[in-house]
Copies of this chain bind each other. A is one copy, B any other.
């Protein structure tokens, strides 16, 4: 639909110079005289000329496009991540080609292949696990692959992830400190690698501490699932603590605990979450939670993007406990 766009040739004609003079004028480190440059700029302005980046990318082999694939983009965690990421990319002069998978489990591979067709220079995966074959194709084609909060067993792709097991340990410690005797771990039915890591680390820590833990898992990673978890898990009156592997789950769980299951938090029940999404700080919740550093995560992703060596990069970002009001002191 470029119909209507002015070409460099037209500008050249109008300015009375050659096609290349125009090109040079718009190429940062080129040699053009002030006189020519001025003429070109004038003509370009009058005609409303814009460099065609697609054509530009065609011969210097750099599309400037960074593919971002994700799913469930309206979930606070992903939304926040995408927000930061897209700003960061833009700031570095990179464009973000966003592909939103309706279903993270299955739709991710075709999306990455689509990104190949657009010659994305790198691909950032926000959620979903790319199959081996796709990873192979990435390295074969020289496309950098960066996985967020996803760990796969390869030395040829970048991964940046929060320290899930450390976070789970912190959560466990905190619940122990709150004096809990029987706790629940709540995760969603989607069982993403990150959730699995958190769950198992938590169980392990609790086991060594001799605290009984019951695991619940089901539904999607949503407020609703958390709510449902609360309703089901808390019929057991003995439960006095819960670790929800995601804040969204925690918020739903909290609401179920308070409104449906009549627990006082943190008097009867201590709850800790994971992520520290904006809503966790809202007055109605004030959730004690393990914070992922969105900005650090983003920073490392951008770094991995720019690193010139496609070296092995497994960046583990530290997490911190943010103390609010849902765990007993």
Chain A residues with a Cβ under 8 A of chain B: 1-5, 48, 50-55, 57-58, 61-63, 65, 68, 72-74, 76, 79-80, 82-84, 86-87, 90, 95-100, 102, 111, 113-114, 116-119, 121-122, 137, 140-144, 223, 227, 251-252, 255-256, 258-259, 278-279, 282-285
Contact = CB atoms under 8 A, between A and B. Distances in A.
A72 B142 CA distance: 33
A39 B195 CA distance: 45
A117 B50 contact: yes
Contacts of A282: 223, 251-252, 255
Identical chains in the assembly = 2
Nearest to A77: B74
A86 B96 CA distance: 12
B58 A137 contact: no
Given A2-B119, A48-B141, A51-B117, 20 more contacts: A1-B121, A1-B143, A2-B142, A4-B142, A48-B137, A50-B113, A53-B119, A54-B57, A65-B97, A74-B79, A83-B100, A86-B98, A87-B102, A90-B100, A95-B114, A96-B99, A98-B98, A223-B278, A252-B282, A259-B283
Contacts of A79: 73-74, 76, 79
A52 B58 CA distance: 9
B96 A3 contact: no
A101 to B, nearest CB: 8
